[in-house]
Chains A and B, each alone.
Chain A
């Protein structure tokens, strides 16, 4: 059996070698793209890459192979393994990275950063990319990667219910208190109705502190270096937030538990704050039961800025020590951040386009025309202060629960704002210090 297969195999290899040498003169640049997009987004990314290969790729002799590398954290584990093993030939040319891989990429020694690429291609207008999404991928003053998938938190409200109560969509915590007084007590099914239900934790509290112009922790919310202390105590931002939060709770407008989309869909909740990427699924779940309204993330006080932090992922490039490959990688990155691709991506997934030009693309305009709800995340991104950054802390889990527990305790046991600020400063600050000492 083996005897018969071997000659056939050898012949095949020789043919292959012949074919390759014949092609060598006009060989296209082959690059590898690792991504972590699964579900519909995964299907779409594969399609974008195919489109690229069929158009720009064909024209510029580039072929891209897209490979799914598991979820972001798995892909980061893989990146770390490759870097530790120093098997640099295994690195991709372009990689889809979230915050978990930022530091590893920065320290890899093989980074071909967005800044490098921009230097090489002066013609590219980086101004078309939303500044806040761009800022998310800046580290120690270097733009590491091109934003690709961005989502932000916005407010959803039951427009039918608010209209019936004769009130407008809220903008501030005080508005929510006012609205609460006018809502019906029970739904048609006899379920209790509450105006707003949410728990402050690391990401949500970061939004409200950011609106007040304050970071939660130092080193720009831990994005520049390890966060070692709180940055919201002395400036009074935490106290200001807690005061408003308590007022909302005491007025009966707030339930201090995580409100769910199911409660919102069932009409038990008038206002829900969650990721903008839920628009599509919420529209589906609600069907025609009521009109879905979207608005900016509610503000702590009228003086605060509108806005919420951005999360998502970016595209980074690796230096494979081959100029043709670097140029090819940059072509792919430009393509994936182009208005057309970003508009299509947003329309299908609910991500916010990172390219401002997406607004002019018919696919996006049609979407916004059909569902005006999609317009909100994009315009909120545009007005969110660019210095607002999501929080990265070492003891992420403990930190998250300490915020939640301390605020719940304030409300349940009627502690004063001052007392709560004090215990939070002590407990959260302690967590950061402990982590710093253990990871020096």
Chain B
């Protein structure tokens, strides 16, 4: 007979193994892609295919990719658009979520449903309408034009509202009694506590915008305003995919997302309310 403690230990080990396995499956394409950036064209056409590159000192792909496409300029463009879009989007989301979580007003439920309904619309169906709007606003070929369609996001608003709802009402009431108004409450109490959620949303949103391809391509007309994902398609062609160069470009384009993740990583899993209402 297996004791309860033993059994739960076994379950724990199994869960760990399963999680590890799943993690490996998820990370494999990324690792394979990065390794690929160090392989020569000949290594790519080798049969059977190899996993490890011949040498990590082989940097020709990176040099070729950088020589062919102005990745630095395009990276800067992507950085500006993604930062601008993500920041404004979170700002709107925080304010809207605050209203939906803490205020009572007429049609609150209906309005909330309307916002949720926008999540059901596939982005592609909005492409032409958005293009029309942005071009009439005279924002073609500008950073604002590229970012403006991301300024309001239902998903972020929804996630924040859910997180705000879990916030203990008592804390807000306590703040009110001490003369803490809405804005101050939001800025000094609520936001610091929901920081993990905010950071997660920021990272997720930033990466989505960083990876955007079709929209930035649509609303820009000059070579200088292109984003990094457009740059990557410049090194590949229908006739010749150039995997080694593409993967070098992809590896370069992964760096900012990766750095962002590293910097904000410790914020992603913290529960600051723990202990706030003790006693």
User: Which chain A residues have a beta carbon within 8 Å of chain B's beta carbons?
Assistant: 32, 37-43, 65, 67-72, 74, 77-78, 80-82, 84-85, 87, 90, 151, 262, 265-266, 275, 277-278, 281, 285, 349-350
Q: Is there an interface contact between B240 and A281, defined as CB atoms closer than 8 Å?
A: yes
Cβ–Cβ < 8 Å partners of B135 in chain A: 85, 87, 90
Bound-state CA distance A32–B221 (Å) is 10
From A38, A77, A80, A90, give the contact of B233 (CB < 8 A).
A38
Q: Is there an interface contact between B217 and A84, defined as CB atoms closer than 8 Å?
A: no
Cβ–Cβ < 8 Å partners of B68 in chain A: 43
Bound-state CA distance A399–B225 (Å) is 39
A-B contact pairs, 29 of them (CB 8 A): A32-B221, A37-B237, A38-B235, A39-B234, A39-B239, A39-B240, A40-B237, A40-B240, A41-B239, A42-B234, A67-B223, A68-B234, A69-B217, A70-B213, A70-B214, A70-B217, A74-B217, A77-B214, A78-B218, A81-B218, A84-B132, A85-B132, A85-B135, A85-B136, A87-B136, A265-B45, A275-B239, A278-B239, A285-B45
Cβ–Cβ < 8 Å partners of B190 in chain A: none
Q: Is there an interface contact between B128 and A81, defined as CB atoms closer than 8 Å?
A: yes
Within 8 A of A (CB), among B222-242: 222-223, 226, 230, 233-240, 242
From B131, B234, B239, B240, give the contact of A81 (CB < 8 A).
B131
Q: Which residue of B lies closest to A263 (CB)?
A: B47
User: Which chain B residues have a beta carbon within 8 Å of chain A's beta carbons?
Assistant: 45, 47, 68, 127-128, 131-132, 135-136, 140, 213-214, 217-218, 221-223, 226, 230, 233-240, 242
Cβ–Cβ < 8 Å partners of A265 in chain B: 45
Bound-state CA distance A399–B49 (Å) is 32
Q: Is there an interface contact between B239 and A266, defined as CB atoms closer than 8 Å?
A: no
Cβ–Cβ < 8 Å partners of B238 in chain A: 71-72
Cβ–Cβ < 8 Å partners of B214 in chain A: 70, 74, 77
Nearest chain B CB to A333 CB, angstrom units: 20
How many contacts between A and B, using CB within 8 angstroms?
80
Nearest chain A CB to B115 CB, angstrom units: 26
Of the listed residues B47, B236, B239, B242, the one surrounded by the most CB atoms of chain A closer than 10 A to its CB is B239
Q: Is there an interface contact between B218 and A77, defined as CB atoms closer than 8 Å?
A: yes
From A39, A71, A90, give the contact of B235 (CB < 8 A).
A39
Cβ–Cβ < 8 Å partners of A40 in chain B: 237, 240
Q: A39-B235, A70-B230, A77-B127 are in contact. Are A266 and B47 (CB under 8 A)?
A: yes
Q: Is there an interface contact between B47 and A262, defined as CB atoms closer than 8 Å?
A: yes
Nearest chain B CB to A406 CB, angstrom units: 27
Bound-state CA distance A42–B232 (Å) is 13
Of the listed residues B68, B213, B240, the one surrounded by the most CB atoms of chain A closer than 10 A to its CB is B240
Cβ–Cβ < 8 Å partners of B45 in chain A: 262, 265, 285
Bound-state CA distance A42–B226 (Å) is 15
Cβ–Cβ < 8 Å partners of B140 in chain A: 87, 90
Q: Which residue of A lies closest to B124 (CB)?
A: A77
Bound-state CA distance A68–B127 (Å) is 20
Cβ–Cβ < 8 Å partners of A266 in chain B: 47
Q: Which residue of B lies closest to A151 (CB)?
A: B239
Cβ–Cβ < 8 Å partners of B234 in chain A: 38-39, 42, 68
Q: Is there an interface contact between B128 and A349, defined as CB atoms closer than 8 Å?
A: no
Q: A84-B128, A90-B140 are in contact. Are A67 and B239 (CB under 8 A)?
A: no
Cβ–Cβ < 8 Å partners of A38 in chain B: 233-237
Bound-state CA distance A219–B116 (Å) is 46
Bound-state CA distance A349–B218 (Å) is 27
Q: Which residue of A lies closest to B229 (CB)?
A: A70
Q: A43-B68, A90-B221, A151-B239 are in contact. Are A70 and B233 (CB under 8 A)?
A: yes
